[in-house]
Chains A and B, each alone.
Chain A
Amino acid sequence: MAIESDVLVVGGGISGVTSAVAAARNGADVRLISHKKTTLRQASGLVDGLGYVPGRSQSTDREGSPSQKRRDFREFRDNRSEYWGPLITPFDGIDSLPDGHPYSVLGADALRSGLSLFDDLVGDSYLGGHTEKNALVPTFGGTVKPTARYPRAAAAGIASDNRSMLVAGFRSFTDFDARMVADNLEAAGVPFEVTGAEIAFADLFPADAEVTRFAKALDHDERIDGTPARQALADAVSPHVGDAERVGFPALLGDDNADEVRAELEERLGAAVFEIPTGPPSLPGLRLEDRLYAALDAEGVKYETGCPVVGYETAAGTPSRVETVLVDRSGQEIPYSASAFVLATGGFVGKGLDSDRDRVFEPVFDCHVPQPPDRYDWFVDDAFGDHPYARFGVNPDATMRPLDADGDPEFTNLYAAGSAVGGADVAREKSASGVSLATGAVAGRAAAAAIDDLNLELGTTEI
């Protein structure tokens, strides 16, 4: 006997959670299956919509260029098809995206509805929903990233705010170089004074202590060398604060009690306190993952993590309908049946797409992934160039059903969402979360609607 649900979502990242909730809110009994912890742990925890778009038509007027060097640079940049931005709002750029981009296929309203679903799921822990404009949030590389939503913990760091800023790094936390962050922000032309300082905090910790260790110590206000952690941190930063009205730290200021940690530091320092998202592994990503799974529970979605979906079966006589997916439980393939399925397994990093020397493929349903036949055409030589592989993924119709090579749906009841979907270069566009939210919202709704259609269909055939 198969384990049954109306809609079964394969994959547990932002797109999986979004589609599961969208389907549940449309009346479906939903189950979500995720193999491993999500790639959110490797993401910044910022939720972007669209920050950059492929360059507009190339400038042909090169006569006025000041020097050969400048002309060479322009030529190089044009050939590399430089991206244009940061965009004032994500919606400004949708018209400039290529036809196969998920935003072009689904339209701006899909992104709006994905973002509003997100706002609902995370409550007041994320900000940015009050406006359609992108926020500019400092990163640990000292760049500013255009993003649609950002954690409350990052709020006081917004780059369009002109309050003076101190960036504080710890000598014992080597992944974050505060002075480099400050220098780069300054070089980026931010409208405020910014300085960086390396401080001695938790020097007892070895240089490779985990970000979770710092967070735990602050969360529980553990004594470090006799002094409570929060006080010890404030004491170490205080001498550097000067006139700074806000102080940024690497994102490790607590976990369960993060709001409390920030509030105490603000009181002790007399300045606003914020976090700058770090590289992987990312605590803001981990916190977002926790929040999204709590939301799943609250929405009544069933979920299980730890076992992979390794294949599918169709019913005899209906090869175009997925009847069950097979979950590998330590070697046993257990069937899970549903009326509709959502493929939300992620891209290359999340292992929703895989490749060998001959082809790029989608491993669960083997959906068609458009690609050049010669693997040397999958990439370009410029490391930061326009890599075709960045846009690889399944090719959906307007209800997010993946299409086969002939342009017909692969299956009548399979929908796709997130990075498994092709057409977007999310790293260059700064659109990864937005694409997941938009495609997830549409795929989840369409999957729930498909159950009703199916019930009607079965109802008539039975009579």
Chain B
Amino acid sequence: MTNETNENDDPTAQPRATDGGSAVEPVDDASAGENSEIVEVFPEGDLDLRAGADDCYKCTTCDISCPVAEVDEEFPGPKFQGPEQWRLKRKEDIDIGDSITSCSNCMRCDSACPSDVPLSQMHNEARGEYVDEQMSVLSREYIRNRILSNYRTSARFASKVPRFANFMMNFGPVRWVMEKTLGVTKEREFPEFAEQTFREWWHDRGGAQVQNADKRVAYFHGCYSNYNTPEVAKAMVRVFEYFDYEVLVPPQQCSGTPMFANGMLTDARRHAVTNVTELAATIDDGADIIASCTSCSLSLRQEYPELFDIDRIEDVAGNTFEALEYLRIHEDLEEALSDAELDGQSFAYHGPCHARNQGLHRQAVELFRDVDDVHVEDVGDSCSGISGTYGWKAEKYKTSMKIGEEMFDHLERAEGDTGMTECPTCAMQMEHGTGYEIRHPLQLIEDALLA
């Protein structure tokens, strides 16, 4: 208690990386007296999660939705990581438990909670605090996590010399050294860097091929479809241009997803400032924001306003959509696909956790249900287990594969032997576990409409 008060009073205290979307007046503010029914017992910082903690009635539904708790009995689960730990920390100066680093940030707990407790927001906060206050910046883990979460930085360099990078990143001795020195697992195949990034392609084709002031979207392609799978980004552009949209491709940085998952909130905030500024400018030009990666769209929509207070961040959050979601709202996709001819393919579809959170995990299955000669089968609600950078950590690899085991099994039981998903790292795990080629629903729409 004393400690906290001191912290709040200390004018030299470092501002927290997160600044919260739900700031409340501090207790000693004159306005607090106006509402006689609300008693502020604990002085809070800018970000008050008390209401969220109070909403938890400990039903434990979140815990049985947690893929990590299902395979790791030592992991205390989302209820502890969120409301319980938050309450424990109110009175005494207790450190955040290091089990927070075992949370994979799948955010399934959010969609499980019947009481709207902001679990993932609490986890992000706790993880940020853990990294800021308990993790040495010289530790191997910190350095490794910093490198992993700043994937964009490494990818930018690698994609300058894609062939060399592809060779090196899957060269046994290099990976052995990476595992020994950095703790990056050598079990996984490193994703290939494209010889031409999406942005290079976009530049070479002369940017947008459709000009339309009435139908305009700004594409947040994210890092992966720029450096590794530009075919997904190209499909997104071509499909939207087919529907007569003018596509803008504003400057952008990482959405922050891997940074949140590693508690690197200062990095995430820095990138968010650029993204919010650039994307807000496109809103002023009449555009809505579209992402093809479901973790990118989730980050812009949910984590941004929950964690940061940046001018116009709510505006960006409120105008962001996933690509297929947007087309379903604004276009008659079913009609457009009704004449499509596809050559009898079957796909085993895995719904990413972050798509579930946005209510999107059934759209691909339903969209193609009435299209002839294509079969998209939902393999069920198992989690892939990779959760971005999580499954790349040597000490988490086994947990990640144990979670994924069920999904591999479900994929293999499905009729198709090509996989489908919206999430680039789920795709990585699906390929790693089954050897399937994995496609994005936008690529199938591209085939159907433009082949």
Contact = CB atoms under 8 A, between A and B. Distances in A.
Contacts, number: 113
A205 interface: yes
Nearest to A216: B70
Interface string B105-134: 000000111100000000000000000000
Nearest to B62: A281
Given A213-B70, A216-B70, A302-B366, A286 B76 contact: no
Contact of A331 (B73, B76, B301, B363): B301
Interface stretch (A54-62, A304-312, A364-372): A304-312
A199 to B, nearest CB: 17
A171 interface: no
A283 B60 CA distance: 12
Contact of B331 (A1, A37, A290, A331): A1
A204 B358 contact: no
Given A36-B114, A302-B366, A332-B318, A286 B64 contact: yes
A68 interface: no
Contacts of A351: 114
A212 B332 contact: no
Contact of B317 (A202, A205, A331, A350): A331
A280 B356 contact: no
- Please tell me the size bucket of the interface on B: 35 or more
B332 A36 contact: no
A3 B329 contact: yes
A211 B73 CA distance: 10
A306 B358 contact: yes
A304 to B, nearest CB: 5
Contacts of B360: 304, 306
B170 interface: no
A415 B73 CA distance: 44
A332 B325 CA distance: 12
B320 A212 contact: no
Given A281-B64, A306-B111, A351-B114, A42 B69 contact: no
A231 B77 CA distance: 27
Contacts of B173: none
- Please tell me the size bucket of the interface on A: 35 or more
A213 B318 contact: no
A37 B114 contact: yes
B69 A212 contact: yes
A280 B73 CA distance: 18
A210 B70 contact: yes
Nearest to B65: A37
Given A37-B114, A206-B73, A306-B358, A1 B406 contact: no
A281 B60 CA distance: 6
A140 to B, nearest CB: 15
Contact of A306 (B77, B318, B329, B357): B357
Nearest to A327: B359
Given A42-B61, A213-B73, A331-B317, A307 B358 contact: yes
B19 interface: no
Given A213-B70, A213-B73, A330-B317, A36 B359 contact: no
Interface in B380-427: 380-381, 405-406
Interface in B262-316: 301-302, 314
A305 B66 contact: no
Nearest to A294: B380
Contacts of B71: 213, 216
B329 A210 contact: no
B69 A329 contact: no
Contacts of B314: 331
A237 B182 CA distance: 45
Contact of B329 (A1, A256, A281, A297): A1
B60 A306 contact: no
B246 interface: no
B77 A210 contact: yes
A1 B111 CA distance: 27
Contacts of A281: 59-61, 63-64
A394 B24 CA distance: 36
A39 interface: yes
B362 A302 contact: yes
A209 B73 contact: yes
B73 A1 contact: no
Contact of B111 (A36, A205, A300): A36
Contacts of B358: 306-307, 329-330
B91 interface: no
Nearest to B302: A330
Nearest to A213: B73
A278 B358 CA distance: 31
A25 interface: no
Interface in B340-398: 356-363, 366, 369, 378, 380-381
B74 interface: yes
A208 interface: yes
Interface in A24-60: 36-37, 39, 41-42
Given A209-B73, A281-B60, A286-B64, A3 B317 contact: no
Given A37-B112, A204-B73, A329-B325, A305 B61 contact: no
A19 B380 CA distance: 22
A349 B381 CA distance: 24
Given A1-B330, A280-B61, A334-B329, A350 B73 contact: no
A212 B64 contact: yes
Contacts of A41: 59, 61, 64, 112
Nearest to A40: B61
A303 B378 CA distance: 12
B73 A205 contact: yes
Interface in A272-319: 280-281, 283, 286, 290, 297, 300, 302-307
Given A281-B59, A290-B381, 9 more contacts: A37-B65, A42-B114, A206-B73, A213-B72, A281-B63, A304-B363, A305-B356, A329-B359, A331-B301
19 contacts: A3-B329, A37-B114, A42-B59, A42-B61, A208-B76, A210-B63, A210-B73, A213-B70, A213-B71, A215-B70, A281-B63, A281-B64, A290-B380, A290-B381, A300-B369, A302-B362, A327-B359, A331-B318, A349-B114
